[in-house]
Chain A
Amino acid sequence: MNRLILLALLFFSIGSISSNDEKIIFNNDAYPFESETKELLFYSLLIELRCPKCQSSNLSGSNSPISNDLKREVYELVLEGNSSEQIKSHLVKRYGNFIIYNPPVEPATYVLWFGPFILVFIASLIILVIRKRVTK
C-alpha cells in the first residue's frame, strides 16, 4: 500500500514541475498578444515544441538563435490565426517529427511506442513463472 502511495506521489511531483514551468515563462512582454486564447496557444506550443539544435530542451527552455527564430515563426503563425495542429504540421514539414515530442504511431516508431509494453509483458511472464515455481 505504502508503495502505491509513493508511486502516486512520484507521478504528481512530475505534474507539478511542468505546471511551474508554465508559470515561469508567462508574463513575458517580448511577445505581445491581444487575445488571451492566442497567448495561451503560443506558450503551450513553446512547451510542446522541441529545439532542433539543443535536442533535449523545448523552445521555451532554449535561447539559442534557432529557437528564437522558431519562437518568432510560431508567434507569427499564432497571430495569423492558425490552430495548434496547423502550426505543428507547418513545422513538422520543415524539421520532421523530431520537433514534436509526441511522435506519430507509424512503422518507424513502433518500437518506441510498443517496446515498453512488450518488455513489461515479458517481465511479468518471467516473474509469474518464477513465482509459480517458488510456491511449488
Chain B
Amino acid sequence: MKKIIDVLPLAIFIGLVVVLFSFLSEKDDQLETVLIDSSFPEFSLKALSDDSRILSKDDISDLPALINVWATWCIACRVEHPFLMKLKEESILKIYGLNYKDDKNKALELLKRDGNPFEFSIYDFEGRLAIDLGVYGAPETFFIDKRGVIRERHVGVIDEKVWETKFAKYLDE
C-alpha cells in the first residue's frame, strides 16, 4: 500500500504528460459540425456570374449535391479544383459553389481559365450564408442528400481519399 502511494503522484504526472503530449501532435483545428442532419439554410443571394439573378435554396435543385465553399484568395481551393472538375466530368453528382468573400472579377476569371465545376456559384461577399452554415474558412464542402438535408461536412481540401471515406457512402442511399 505504502509503495503504491509513493509512486502514485509520479505515475499520475507521467500519465498526464503522455496524454497531453499526444494532443500536441494531433493537429485538430476542426470545429464540430452542428448542422449535420438539419436541412440546408434558406438564403437569398446573387449569382456570381449574373448580378440580376437572385438565388435561393430552391435553386439547389439537382440533389444529392455538394456545396463547395471557395474563393480565389484560398490557395487550398486551387488544389482541390481538379478533383471537383473530375466529379463534374464523370457526372458523379452536381456541385454548387459558394463563392466566399471574394473579388467577383477574379473569381470569374479563375473559372474561365481553370474550368467551372459548379452548376452555379452563389456570390456571398458578406459571408451571410456562410455564417448560417457555420463556415469559418475555405475550402469547405457539404454533402446535401436527396431531401435537402446536410449529411456531411469536410473542412479543407477534398480529394479522392476524402471523397471515398467521407462522402461516397451517402451517394448510394
Binding site for B on A (CB under 8 A): 52-53, 55, 65-66, 69-70, 72-73, 92-98, 119, 122-123, 126, 129-130, 133
A129 to B127: give the CA distance in the assembly, Å: 59
Interface residue? B44 (CB, 8 A): no
Contacts of A92 in B (CB 8 A): 34
Query: How big is the B interface, by class?
Result: 20 to 34
A98 to B131: give the CA distance in the assembly, Å: 14
- Closest B residue to A129 using CB positions: B5
Contacts of B134 in A (CB 8 A): 52, 94-96
Do A94 and B32 form a contact, CB below 8 Å, given A66-B127, A69-B126, A69-B127? no
What does DSSP make chain A's interface, helix, strand, loop or mixed? Answer: helix
Contact B127 A94 (CB under 8 A): no
Binding site for A on B (CB under 8 A): 2, 5, 8-9, 12, 29, 31-35, 101, 126-127, 130-134, 136-137
A116 to B40: give the CA distance in the assembly, Å: 39
Contacts of B29 in A (CB 8 A): 55
A123 to B133: give the CA distance in the assembly, Å: 44
Among B5, B31, B33, B131, point to the contact of A70 (Cβ < 8 A). Answer: B131
Contact A130 B34 (CB under 8 A): no
A129 to B134: give the CA distance in the assembly, Å: 51
A55 to B31: give the CA distance in the assembly, Å: 10
- Closest A residue to B29 using CB positions: A55
Contact B8 A93 (CB under 8 A): no
